[in-house]
Amino acid sequence: MRDHTPDFKMNELSLDNKVLIRQTVQQLLEKLSVDGKLTCDTLLEFWIEVPGVKRPRGTFRGGFLMPDSFIYISDYFQSDNDTPHILKPGQTYADEGLTLEKVWDDLLDELYYQVEIFTSQVSSGKGVTLELWAGNRQRPEGEWIYAVDRKVELG
């Protein structure tokens, strides 16, 4: 059996980029929570544009955007119907008595790792654009029913 994994050297995101990504994701999830749109199907998706790398966006039949990657937010967080503006640890985290900070760390570690994979083609983060969406789709690759989004340039 052949290994089709490409050879690449992962470049760790800078502290500034990690802070920028964290602030952006927190804003998106807080907006979802305040709007009462945080459900078990809520996704955090991203698309990365690397300068000089030509890679057209993939689509499914019907023209749906195929994101680089997505994370189920409900794996990490749940909303509280009584206080929808406050994010709470997901059930698994709550059952283990883990803090909200641990939940954020786990979610962001996963996201940072995925971003590092997609940006491994460049020696620095300069000029790399990260688009983030958070919300609900008809299916993971379907049209957004409700979403908030943000585009940031990594430094």
- pTM for this entry: 0.82
Mean per-residue pLDDT, 130-144: 82
- Decide if 55 is inside a domain: yes
In the predicted structure, residue 155 carries a pLDDT above the cut 90: no
- Decide if 112 is inside a domain: yes
- Decide if 136 is inside a domain: yes
Per the structure, how many domains does the chain have? 1
* Domain span at 55: 15-153
- Decide if 9 is inside a domain: no
SS3 per-residue string spanning 75-88: HCEEECCCCCCCEE
CA distance 155 to 152: 9
Distances (CA, A) of 133 to 26, 98, 114: 12, 26, 15
Q: Over the stretch 27-86, which tens digit does the pLDDT of each residue have?
A: 999 888 888 888 878 889 888 887 776 655 555 455 455 566 888 898 999 876 677 677
- Decide if 25 is inside a domain: yes
- Decide if 6 is inside a domain: no
